[in-house]
C-alpha cells in the first residue's frame, strides 16, 4: 500500500490560490518608450484575431501548468512511500560477544580440516563462522586478543560482517602472548550500556594468560557482578606426532592450556567450560552452546518502505522546463510562415505627399 509520511504538507496546496485572490496584483511599470505598429490591426485581422486568442490561451495554459507543478512539488514534499508486506524478524534478545585468541600458539597444526592438517585458528574460523550464521536474531560482537585485546566488531545484527572480520583475522595481529583478563574486561566494558538480560561472552583460547593488566579471575568476578555469563572454550589436541632429527616424537601441544583458570572463569559467571581436542569436538561445543543459549525467543515484524517522492519531483522538473520554454516563446523553425508573419515583415507603405 502507499502512504504519505508527512500528510500535513498538503495544506500548502492552497497557497497559489491564496496568493492569486487575496493579495493585490502588482502594478505594471510605466514606461515612456513604446513601439508603435500602425498596421497592427491589419495583422490581427489577417488571422481573424488569432494573435490575441493565442496570447490569452498561452497565458491561461502557463497558469494551470504552474498549478500542476506546484501540486507535484507538494506531493513530493508529503513524502509518498510504498509500504511492503510484513516480514518476520526472529529476535532472541541476546548480546553475544565472541573473544578469540590470536596468540602465537594458535598456529600449531594439531587439528584437521577437510582431511588435511590445519592450525587451530583455521579450524576456529570455519567452525565459529558456522556458529555465527546460526545465531540469527542475536546481536554479535568480536574481540580479538593476543598481548592486548581489541574490539574488532561492535555488537551488531550483521552476522555476515562479524563472520568476515573473523575470517580476515591473522595470528599475531594482536601480539604473540595471551591476555585473557584484558579480553574479558573489554567485553564487560562494551556490555555496560546494554540491557541487563541475556549478555553472554564466549571466550576461546588455547593457552595461559601471560600478558595484560587484568587477572582473568578478577575480570570474571567483575563480569559476574554485572550479570554477564561467560562460556569458556579450551582448544588444543592432547596428542601430536612431530618429526625430529632423531625420529618421530609424540608431544602434548595443549600442555600450556590453563584449564583450571578457564573453569573458574566460567563457574564464577554461571557459564560452562568446554574442552575441544579436535575439529569434531569444537563443532560439538558450539552445538552445545546453541542448546544452552537458544536462539529464537520472540518474533518481531517490520515492513520494508520504498520512497516514491522522486516521481512527482521529476514530473515537476520536466513541467517546469516546458513552462519555461513556453514563456520564452520558442517555436518550430521548420514551421510554415503565417499570413501575420508575412505582413509583419513586409515593407511599410509610403506616406502620401501633402
Backbone angles phi and psi of 330, in degrees to 5: -70, 145
pLDDT at 332 over 50: no
| Helix segments in the chain, DSSP class H | 15-21, 40-46, 50-77, 120-134, 159-167, 180-191, 216-225, 259-268, 279-292, 310-328, 339-345
Could you tell me the three cell numbers for 151?
574490539
Phi, psi of 268 (to 5 degrees): -65, -30
Residue whose C-alpha cell is 587484568: 214
Alpha helices in 168-275 (DSSP H): 180-191, 216-225, 259-268
Please write the tens of the pLDDT for every residue from 259-303.
999 999 999 999 999 999 888 999 999 999 988 887 655 566 778
List, for residues 33-72, the tens digit of each pLDDT value. Answer: 555 656 555 555 555 555 445 555 656 777 788 888 999 9
Name the burial class of residue 323, with classes exposed (0-12), middle (13-18) and buried (19+) by CB atoms within 10 angstroms of its CB.
middle
Give the SS3 label for residue 205: strand
Question: What pLDDT, on the 0 to 100 scale, is given for residue 340?
Answer: 46
Cα separations (Å) of 48 from 42, 336, 344?
A: 10, 18, 15
Task: Please say if the pLDDT value at position 128 is more than 70.
Answer: yes
Q: What is the CATH number of domain 89-302?
A: 3.40.50.410
- Domain boundary assignment for the chain: 1-17+38-85+304-329, 89-302
Amino acid at each position: 500500500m502507499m502512504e504519505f509520511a508527512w500528510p500535513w504538507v498538503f495544506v500548502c496546496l492552497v497557497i497559489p490560490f491564496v496568493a492569486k485572490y487575496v493579495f493585490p496584483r502588482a502594478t505594471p511599470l510605466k514606461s515612456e518608450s513604446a513601439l508603435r505598429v500602425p498596421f497592427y490591426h491589419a495583422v490581427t485581422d489577417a488571422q481573424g484575431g488569432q494573435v490575441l486568442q493565442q496570447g490569452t490561451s498561452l497565458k491561461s495554459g502557463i497558469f494551470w501548468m504552474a498549478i500542476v507543478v506546484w501540486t507535484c512539488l507538494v506531493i513530493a514534499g508529503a513524502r509518498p512511500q510504498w509500504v511492503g508486506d510484513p516480514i518476520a524478524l526472529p529476535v532472541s534478545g541476546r548480546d553475544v560477544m565472541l573473544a578469540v585468541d590470536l596468540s602465537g600458539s594458535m598456529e600449531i597444526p594439531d587439528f584437521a580440516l577437510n582431511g588435511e592438517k590445519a592450525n587451530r585458528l583455521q579450524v576456529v574460523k570455519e567452525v565459529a563462522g558456522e556458529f555465527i550464521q546460526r545465531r540469527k536474531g542475536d546481536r554479535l560482537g568480536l574481540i580479538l586478543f593476543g598481548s592486548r585485546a581489541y574490539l574488532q566488531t561492535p555488537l551488531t545484527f550483521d552476522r555476515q560482517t562479524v563472520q568476515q572480520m573473523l575470517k580476515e583475522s591473522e595470528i599475531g595481529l594482536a601480539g604473540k602472548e595471551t591476555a585473557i583478563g584484558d579480553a574479558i574486561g573489554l567485553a564487560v566494558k562494551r556490555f555496560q550500556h546494554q540491557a541487563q538480560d541475556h549478555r553472554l561472552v564466549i571466550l576461546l583460547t588455547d593457552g595461559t594468560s601471560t600478558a595484560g593488566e587484568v587477572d582473568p579471575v578478577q575480570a570474571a568476578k567483575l563480569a559476574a557482578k554485572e550479570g554477564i555469563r561467560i562460556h569458556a572454550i579450551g582448544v588444543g589436541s592432547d596428542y601430536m606426532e612431530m618429526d625430529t632429527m632423531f625420529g618421530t616424537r609424540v608431544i602434548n601441544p595443549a600442555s600450556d592450556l590453563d584449564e583450571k583458570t578457564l573453569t573458574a572463569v566460567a563457574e564464577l559467571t554461571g557459564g560452562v567450560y568446554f574442552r575441544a581436542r579436535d575439529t569434531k569436538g569444537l563443532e560439538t561445543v558450539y552445538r552445545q552452546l546453541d542448546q544452552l543459549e537458544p536462539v529464537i525467543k520472540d518474533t518481531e515484524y517490520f515492513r520494508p518502505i520504498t520512497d516514491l517522492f522522486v516521481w512527482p519531483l521529476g514530473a515537476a522538473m520536466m513541467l517546469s522546463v516546458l513552462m519555461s520554454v513556453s514563456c520564452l516563446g520558442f517555436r518550430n523553425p521548420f514551421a510554415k510562415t503565417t499570413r501575420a508573419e508575412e505582413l509583419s515583415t513586409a515593407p511599410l507603405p509610403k506616406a502620401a505627399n501633402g
